[in-house]
Amino acid sequence: MRGKYIFFACAITVMTLLTGCLGSGSSPGGLPGTSPGTSPGGTTTGSIAGMVTDAVSDLGLWSGQAKVAGKTAQISGGKFEVTGIPAGTHTLVVSKPHYKDATLQVSVGSGQVTLEVKMQPAYSAAHLDLFARLVHAESKGESYEGQVAVAASILNRVRHRNYPNTLYGVIMQRDSRGYAQYSPIDDGTIHTPAGQSAKDAVWDALAGWDPSQGATGFFAPAKVPNKNNWVWKQVHMVQIGNHLFFRSQID
C-alpha cells in the first residue's frame, strides 16, 4: 500500500507541473508566450503612423507610399501606418508622383511612433506658376472641379510614356507641324497671370485629386463638331462642364 501511495503521489505531482507549464505564458486569443509589442519569435516590434502633407499648400496627399524595414504601406487621405516593425532605427522613405522623396531616420520601440511628413513638390516655383497660368487660360469660367480636372490631365501626361516626362516639357510640347499641344501657348493667353482658383486647382491636382479619371487630354465638344476629328476617336473618360476628358488610345 505504501508503494502505491508513493506512486500516485508522484503521478499527481508530475501532472500538476505539466499543467502549470502548459498554462503559463499564454494570453487570450494569442499565441503562447507572446504579448503586445512582440513577434511570435519573441522580437520586440512597433509601428509607425504618419500624416503626409504638401510642404507648400499643407494639403494632405491623396496617394503615395511609405516604405520601412521591408514593409510598404499606401497613403490614403493623407495618412499611412506600418505595423510589425522590429525595434531599432530604420530608414523611412515616403514617395508620391510629382514630389521629391522624403527620407527620415526613425527609432522604433514597442509602441507606435507618430510622424508628420512634409513633401516638397518636384517642380520649381517658376514651372508651377507656368502650370497655373495654363490651367487658368484653359479652364477659366469652368467649375472648380473642372479646373482641377484640367490640371490633373496635364500631370497625367508627365507620367504617360507618349509625352515628355517633365512638367515644362508637357506644357511646351509641339506636334510635328510646330503647333503647341495647348492653344494658350500659341495664342499668348499663357502670359495672363493665373487667378487664385487656378492656383488652388494646381495644388489639389498635385496632392492627388483627379476628377478627370486618369485622362491625358480634353476638348470642348461644342468647338469640335466634326466627329472625324482625332479627339473624338480617343477613349472618353468623363465630361465636366464644357470639357470632355479623354485618354490617348496610343499606349
Same domain, 89 and 202: no
Are residues 49 and 91 both part of a single domain? yes
CATH number of the domain where residue 105 is located: 2.60.40.1120
Closest to 143 measured CA to CA, from 197, 189, 218: 197
On whether both 190 and 91 belong to a single domain, the answer is no
Domain membership of residue 22 (yes or no) is no
CATH code for position 153: 1.10.10.2520
Output the tens digit of pLDDT for each of the chain's 251 residues.
Answer: 444 444 334 443 433 333 343 333 333 333 333 334 655 556 899 999 999 999 999 999 999 999 999 999 999 999 999 999 999 999 999 999 999 999 999 999 999 999 999 999 999 999 999 999 999 999 999 999 999 999 999 999 999 999 999 999 999 999 999 999 999 999 999 999 999 999 999 999 999 999 999 999 999 999 999 999 989 999 999 999 999 999 987 65
Supply φ then ψ for residue 232, to 5 degrees. -75, -15
Q: Which of 79, 101, 119 is the last residue of a domain?
A: 119
* Domain boundaries, position 220: 125-247
Q: Are 51 and 116 in contact (CB under 8 A)?
A: yes
Q: Is residue 202 part of a domain?
A: yes
**Amino acid making up residue 87:** A
Is residue 81 situated within a structural domain? yes
For the chain, state the CA radius of gyration. 29
- Residue 80 is assigned to a structural domain of this protein: yes
Sheet with strand 243-247: strands edge to edge:
217-219, 243-247, 235-240
Pairing of the two strands 79-86 and 45-54: antiparallel
The number of distinct structural domains making up the chain is 2
Q: What is residue 199's predicted lDDT score, i.e. its pLDDT? A: 98
